[in-house]
Structure 1
Amino acid sequence: MATRDALWAYRDRFGDAFGRTYFRRFGPGVAASVGLGTYFGEPTDRVDEAYRRVVRLAIESGVNHVDTAVNYRCGRSERAVGEAVRETVRETAVDREAVVVATKGGFLPFNGERPDDPSRYVRERFVESGIVDPADLAGGHCLAPDYLAWSLDRSLDRLGLDTVDCYYVHNPEAQLATRSRSDVYEALEAAFERLERRRAAGDIGQYGVATWRAFRVPEGHDAYLSLGEVLARAEAAGRSVGPDDDHGFAAVQLPFTIRMADAFTRTNQRPPDDPDGDPVSTLEFAHEAGLSVVTSASIGQGELANENAIPEAVDEQLAGDTPAQRALNFARSAPAVTCSLVGTTDPEHLRENVAAGTFDPLGASAFDAVFE
């Protein structure tokens, strides 16, 4: 598990190579504000090897935040991440405790490859085996505590690690397709209680929710979830389980770019210290609540790496030698953001992304001015 001393030691080793605020508070210490995602790529041996190379290169270059999920590339991304982390620890001076490994559970994963008949696979693998109750399914998604515990065990096994540093409940808004919003909040509280117990057992360091639409859409939208209510359910779970440090809900993952800035521009959350007050943005809520925000799709899944993809008036304010670096630095400039993820299997792209951290992000006033 990542520890305060090891994370700060990693920062001391690499920090002088980067700009100010590159390392930011996360978990028990600090971690890089540029992170590596592992979503894209076919479930093949070739892509596995590419991820192993790039994860090791990232850790050796000043990126110690690696993100994956039980379902990414049919479960193969977790395995590649774990192999790379273990190899790097074994063969270099980097400690396991200096690397933040995050993964997610919620979607039903395939096992190494896409089955010819996914519906049959889900029925035989998950329903008929008793791993999930069909009443808990929303398509290929499940929030039931027993399923999440099973999924976490699979993640630990595939990673080959004793602990996951940050465990996300993945896209809980998927459950809104078949359940009421109040029922989803109840399901989240039950899930958080199980995760609190796994945290107390040392299997996870902290937990959170990774979303796509839930915190970016208007309050009345079918996919909307209240971050305040989600946090309240985690607080209730913490009280129920009873750890001394309250609760382990610490992070929110969501997409954020200049073209997908709803988490900053849309006021759809009630302030944590004044539930009856005027709504605030998700990023402002997270900042006030002390939650870490991890941005996904930080360069628009590659679209913002193209010339002229960023509006000129914004682009000229951003620091970076390439469009990808400037897009990444825009995401890193947003309030409450502790890490911006970029997925790649290309070592040159990885080096380009890491180099974004040598430039300073926008200050608060400059960032606000982008939206005026």
Structure 2
Amino acid sequence: MATSSGTWAYRDRFGDRFGRTYFRRFGPGVVSSVGLGTYLGDPTDAVDDRYREALVTGLEAGVNLVDTASNYRCGRSERVVGAALREASVDRDRVVVASKAGFVPFDGDRPENPGRYVRERFVDTGIITPADLARGSHCLAPEFLDQMLDRSLEALGVDSIDCYYVHNPETQLGERDREAVYEQLGAAFEALERRRAGGDIGGYGVATWEAFRVPPDHDAFLDLREVVARAEGAADAVGLDDHGLRAVQLPFNVRMADGFTRKNHDADGEDGPVSALSFCHREGLSAFAAASLGQGDLTNAGSIPESVESQLAGDSQAQRALNFARSAPAVTAALVGCSRVEHVRESVAAGTFDPLGASAFDSVFE
């Protein structure tokens, strides 16, 4: 597990190479504000090799945050992350490792009949029931999450995972009402609190695509205040003094900025609702910006409005887009794909530039 002494030692090793606030507090220590994501790419050996080389490059150059999931690239991404952790000249306690569970994962490649695969591997074996499934592929049942956490630990080859996310819980809203999904989250959190108490995870989070940035009347909306309340209830049920909900992951970039601009979450007595990022800031939750480059779209010339781009530091379009995401309040790190070494080097170099200050960031939206 990442430790305070380990992550601060990593910061001491690399910190002088980077701009201000490149390393930021998370968990027991600090983490780089650029993180390596492992979502995109075909489930092939060739892509595995590229990822492994790129991950090792990043870990040995100043990035101590890796984000993956049990279902990414048919389960291959977790295995590649584990291989990179073993190969890199960086101790495990220096690196923050995050993974996720929620989508039923394949095992190395895409089966010819996904529905039959899910039925035979997960339903017929009793891991999940048909009623647990949403859209035939998503499950939040505590027993399933326990199984997926064990699978993630084995695939990564680690004794513990620093942040384990409940993955896209809004998927369940396609099958049941919002209150039922909050109940599901409460049960999921209770299972994760037990694993936290056992030392298998350092904390947990909720990784979303739509849930925290859409309007309250949207079919995919979930309220962060209610999510925190369910985490508090889970900790109480397990007999812990404080909950282990540490992080929120949501898309955030210059063209998907509603996590900052849309006031859609209950502020519990404050003057009206607040944005997702403002809520995280008030509650002490770390926000991790997914899709910080718009899955590559923001690397194209002209994709960032000129009035915004002129205020951002960086030698390339990709670096400026990444530094926009790193500048937002409550954002601990911006995640970027790392399937190629040259992309990782460019992303790491973005951290040598300072992010926008709070006033300059706010002025972008005036």
Structure 2: 5+ residue stretches without partners? none
1:12-38 deviation line (CA, Å, top 9, x unaligned): 110000000000011111000000000
**Which residue does the alignment assign to 1:72?**
72
Alpha-carbon distance between aligned partners in 2 of 1:304 and 1:47, rounded to the nearest angstrom: 23
**Which residue does the alignment assign to 2:97?**
101
Counting only pairs closer than 5 Å after superposition, residues 122-271 of structure 1 correspond to structure 2 as 122-139=118-135, 140-244=137-241, 246-271=242-267
1:262-318 deviation line (CA, Å, top 9, x unaligned): 10010000114x26x401101000000000000100011001011111000000000
Q: 1:345 aligns with which of 326, 339, 359?
A: 339
Look up the equivalent residue of 2:296 and give its one-letter code. G
Look up the equivalent residue of 1:330 and give its one-letter code. F
Alpha-carbon distance between aligned partners in 2 of 1:296 and 1:320, rounded to the nearest angstrom: 19
CA shift for structure 1 position 338: 0.2
Percent identity over paired residues = 67
1:308 aligns to what SS in structure 2?
coil
Alpha-carbon distance between aligned partners in 2 of 1:350 and 1:119, rounded to the nearest angstrom: 36
Look up the equivalent residue of 2:330 and give its one-letter code. A
Counting only pairs closer than 5 Å after superposition, residues 34-73 of structure 1 correspond to structure 2 as 34-73=34-73
Establish whether residue 358 from structure 1 lines up as the match of residue 355 from structure 2: no
Establish whether residue 23 from structure 1 lines up as the match of residue 16 from structure 2: no
1:268 aligns to what SS in structure 2?
coil
1:294 aligns to what SS in structure 2?
strand
Equivalent residue pairs, number:
365
Look up the equivalent residue of 1:269 and give its one-letter code. H
CA shift for structure 1 position 243: 2.1
Q: 1:335 aligns with which of 329, 334, 339?
A: 329
Alpha-carbon distance between aligned partners in 1 of 2:338 and 2:200, rounded to the nearest angstrom: 28
1:142 aligns to what SS in structure 2?
coil
Q: Please tell me whether the aligned partners of residues 55 and 338 of structure 2 are also in contact (alpha carbons under 8 angstroms).
A: no
Alpha-carbon distance between aligned partners in 2 of 1:208 and 1:349, rounded to the nearest angstrom: 27
1:56-92 deviation line (CA, Å, top 9, x unaligned): 111100000000000000000000001110122xxx2
Alpha-carbon distance between aligned partners in 2 of 1:221 and 1:199, rounded to the nearest angstrom: 33
Counting only pairs closer than 5 Å after superposition, residues 2-13 of structure 1 correspond to structure 2 as 2-13=2-13
Establish whether residue 113 from structure 1 lines up as the match of residue 109 from structure 2: yes
Alpha-carbon distance between aligned partners in 2 of 1:242 and 1:5, rounded to the nearest angstrom: 28
**Which residue does the alignment assign to 2:284?**
290
Look up the equivalent residue of 1:87 and give its one-letter code. E
After superposition, the CA RMSD in angstroms is 0.8
CA shift for structure 1 position 355: 0.4
Look up the equivalent residue of 2:16 and give its one-letter code. D
Alpha-carbon distance between aligned partners in 2 of 1:346 and 1:126, rounded to the nearest angstrom: 34
TM-score computed with the length of structure 2 as normaliser: 0.99
Alpha-carbon distance between aligned partners in 2 of 1:208 and 1:235, rounded to the nearest angstrom: 13
2:249 aligns to what SS in structure 1?
strand
CA shift for structure 1 position 123: 1.1
2:111 aligns to what SS in structure 1?
coil
Alpha-carbon distance between aligned partners in 1 of 2:47 and 2:199, rounded to the nearest angstrom: 31
Alpha-carbon distance between aligned partners in 1 of 2:355 and 2:123, rounded to the nearest angstrom: 48
CA shift for structure 1 position 344: 2.3
Alpha-carbon distance between aligned partners in 2 of 1:325 and 1:264, rounded to the nearest angstrom: 20
Alpha-carbon distance between aligned partners in 1 of 2:38 and 2:362, rounded to the nearest angstrom: 31
Establish whether residue 371 from structure 1 lines up as the match of residue 343 from structure 2: no
1:344-372 deviation line (CA, Å, top 9, x unaligned): 21111110000000000001111011111
TM-score computed with the length of structure 1 as normaliser: 0.97
Alpha-carbon distance between aligned partners in 2 of 1:2 and 1:86, rounded to the nearest angstrom: 15
Give structure 1 regions of 4+ aligned residues with deviation exceeding 6 angstroms.
none
**Which residue does the alignment assign to 2:301?**
307
